[in-house]
Structure 1
Amino acid sequence: MPAPFTTLSDFRNMLVQMPGSEAVAIAQATTRNGQLTKPPGALGRLEDLAIWYAGWRGDPRPVIAAPQVIIFAGNHGVCAQGVSAFPAEVTAQMVANFEHGGAAINQLAKAMGARMDVHALSLDRPTQDFTQGPAMTEAELLSALNIGWNAVDPQADLLVTGEMGIGNTTSAAALAAALFGGTGADWAGRGTGVDDAGLARKVAAVDAGLALHAPADPLAALRCLGGRELAAMAGAMAAARYHRIPVILDGFICTAAAAVLDRLQPGALDHAVAGHLSVEGAHQRLLDALGKVPLLSLGLRLGEGSGAALAIGVLQSAVACHSGMASFAEAGVSDA
């Protein structure tokens, strides 16, 4: 179905009217959790995850049967500042790898039983170098938000968004700094593995972008400093909220895109959990700003939605235990 917004103002207003979690399902899931054949709280955070998931799906005994992984790819003009260890051509090469099933995310999505889709956004037309001008026009930002929105299958019951885009850790660092304050040194990390000189160029690029634009609101920050794939991820996560599909956030870049929604409307990410803690730069700081505690910490820094895809298994396990376990009465086990 077409996205229910045609302007950036529409997008802002839509976030205010998004559905919330269903209180009745939460209450019923909580009651069920207290009747399962285990000591209270014995499954720790898995119990909270299952109840959270039940609330968003409106089902006190849910199942996860149709997870979706979507990878968005975009190219960045800021690469002209020497901020990446790899050339921009790698973006298109990796998209081809995704499409042929050869990347890590392909294997992880398959292992988790997830549908995987790939959307390349104008790879032959990088965003403008944000140290020289706004990364995107309003029309380009709206197009990317729409692509993200329309990429979500309304029948999915869990969403992971991933990205590919040489230079996008620089864009994400600039976006995080615009949203939460600080300088390039606070937010820029080594990304694809840049050396000290490369990191210094990233820091300088972020600071130059912040000085040039001083964006007044989160969507302006996304337009001026972000990228098409970041905007598409934000659009997809907004669509997931609209369809009451829970979201697992990936690493630093995905979380920076998600933060735009949070800054636009408090609570806009209540339908999302953090899949993992990346070793990229300031991911922990970004998660702290959003109040998200990661499910996994495995030293990952690949992107592609890989850490979030791994976390699908954690959420599947939580829901399987909650919905599949017997109650004390069903099992004939004393709960005294």
Structure 2
Amino acid sequence: MNGTWWQAAARVPDAGRRAQALARQLQLTKPQGSLGRLEQLAVTLAGLQGRSDPSVERIWISIFAADHGIAQEGISAFPQEVTGQMLANFAQGGAAISVLARHLGAELELLELGLVQESVPLPGVRQLRIAAGTENFLHQPAMTSVQCAHALLAGREALQRALEKGADLFIGGDMGIGNTSSACALACLLLDQPAKRLVGAGTGMKDSGLQHKTQIIEAALKLHRPMVDSPLEALTRVGGLEIAGLAGAYIAAAQEGMPVLVDGYICTAAALCAVRMNPGIAPWLLYSHRSAETCHQELLDALDAEPLVSLEMRLGEGSGAAMVVPLLQAACRLHNQMATFQEAAVSGSRL
């Protein structure tokens, strides 16, 4: 496939299966709509998976890790070496997403796309190392076009591995000190908004730190905004390697016909970029939770997305999405296993 594979059309959800699922919901032994969004989820998944019995039992989680040059500007409450340390924690099974993946019986894949310091090989970590982190986008583009293309492709290849394992659902996660600044700058360029509208506390910046972070991002936007003429250019100039990896995975999932459960702020910024790069992918993206990052809502509104829960989470790692998987599983099981009025010999509604 050529260098613009991300522009290839997404699959079209199966309208016939969706209609069948909707008809079944009307026959189940419950008042219509009484299971709320669980009914909608089952119907949506039936259309996306092209099957009358939707299932999300086989979960694939890819965590993309990379460092950010913008961290040099003191925009995070944590030092940059935490990225590599947390990647090791993932590999050792001690992180939140590691615990949740074990609980779900999910396949957890770890991808190092570019740490500042070359890391010691870790069991279970794919070390791609596209670059030694991004450049400081306060002064220059974060990535070259070639680096961005490699990161997008890393996401596509992760999705291909999920397909080969027969996954029903793809979850992407992120790790990278400084990545809320990158996500904010990217969203500002895509939505034509000032930094103060979309900046968030990230790892826990307080008032003075948040003001400094806002000023840094606004200065960077002033540098890059005149040169941005496409979502891909915005991603290259202020994005992160892990954000590009996520975007590539989301686009590939829609092209291959696999539903995606999107995590919080970073992943939603990647989803926004992916949808702007290829609008046809939008139906394949389900949104798991509303992050405690107040600016997350702005991104959700831009995507016309209504997340399933709001748990005041802001950890990243794909953790919010993993928390929501049991809801999808319950929706599918209710749809598949509940009796119809006819099967249960129960009189149905006449309304």
User: What TM-score range do you get, normalising by the shorter chain?
Assistant: over 0.9
| Residue 236 (structure 1) shift | 0.8
Contact 1:184 1:202 in 2 (8 A): no
Q: Following superposition, which runs of at least 4 residues in structure 1 exceed 4 angstroms of deviation?
A: none
Which residue of 149, 152, 176 corresponds with 1:145? 152
The aligned counterpart of 1:229 is: 242
The aligned counterpart of 1:292 is: 305
The aligned counterpart of 1:274 is: 287
Contact 2:10 2:257 in 1 (8 A): no
| Residue 265 (structure 1) shift | 3.2
Distance in 2 (alpha carbons) for counterparts of 1:196 and 1:82: 14
Distance in 2 (alpha carbons) for counterparts of 1:10 and 1:272: 19
Q: Secondary structure at 2:114's aligned position in 1?
A: coil
Distance in 2 (alpha carbons) for counterparts of 1:49 and 1:115: 23
Scaled by the length of structure 2, what TM-score is found?
A: 0.91
- Give the 5 Å matches for 1:187-336: 187-214=198-225, 215-336=228-349
- Give the 5 Å matches for 1:10-25: 10-11=5-6, 13-14=7-8, 17-25=9-17
Distance in 1 (alpha carbons) for counterparts of 2:57 and 2:5: 32
Distance in 1 (alpha carbons) for counterparts of 2:290 and 2:55: 26
Distance in 1 (alpha carbons) for counterparts of 2:184 and 2:23: 43
What is the number of equivalent residue pairs in this alignment? 328
Distance in 2 (alpha carbons) for counterparts of 1:78 and 1:24: 48
Q: Secondary structure at 2:196's aligned position in 1?
A: helix
| Residue 65 (structure 1) shift | 2.3
Which residue of 164, 169, 186 corresponds with 2:180? 169
Q: Secondary structure at 2:61's aligned position in 1?
A: strand
Contact 2:38 2:328 in 1 (8 A): yes
Q: Secondary structure at 1:259's aligned position in 2?
A: helix
The reply on whether 1:157 has 2:168 as its aligned counterpart is yes
Distance in 2 (alpha carbons) for counterparts of 1:273 and 1:49: 9
The reply on whether 1:107 has 2:114 as its aligned counterpart is no
Which residue of 66, 70, 73 corresponds with 2:65? 73
Distance in 1 (alpha carbons) for counterparts of 2:313 and 2:66: 21
The aligned counterpart of 2:129 is: none
Distance in 2 (alpha carbons) for counterparts of 1:62 and 1:160: 17
Distance in 2 (alpha carbons) for counterparts of 1:20 and 1:293: 21
C-alpha root-mean-square deviation of aligned residues, in Å? 1.2
Change (3 A) 1:63 1:10: closer
The aligned counterpart of 2:56 is: 64
**Amino acid across the alignment from 2:333:** A
| Residue 10 (structure 1) shift | 3.8
The aligned counterpart of 1:49 is: 41
**Amino acid across the alignment from 2:156:** W
**Amino acid across the alignment from 2:219:** A
More off after superposition, 161-170 vs 202-211: 202-211
| Residue 92 (structure 1) shift | 0.4
The reply on whether 1:122 has 2:133 as its aligned counterpart is no
Q: Secondary structure at 2:292's aligned position in 1?
A: coil
Q: Percent identity between the aligned chains? A: 45
The aligned counterpart of 2:23 is: 31
| Residue 264 (structure 1) shift | 2.3
Q: Secondary structure at 1:73's aligned position in 2?
A: strand
Contact 1:25 1:55 in 2 (8 A): yes
Which residue of 194, 214, 221 corresponds with 1:183? 194
- Give the 5 Å matches for 1:79-90: 79-90=71-82
More off after superposition, 127-136 vs 58-67: 58-67
Distance in 2 (alpha carbons) for counterparts of 1:76 and 1:323: 45
Deviations 1:68-120 (A, max 9, x none): 11110010000111100111100000000001110011111222232111111
Structure 1: state its 5+ residue gaps. Answer: none
| Residue 267 (structure 1) shift | 3.9
Contact 1:81 1:201 in 2 (8 A): no
| Residue 328 (structure 1) shift | 1.5
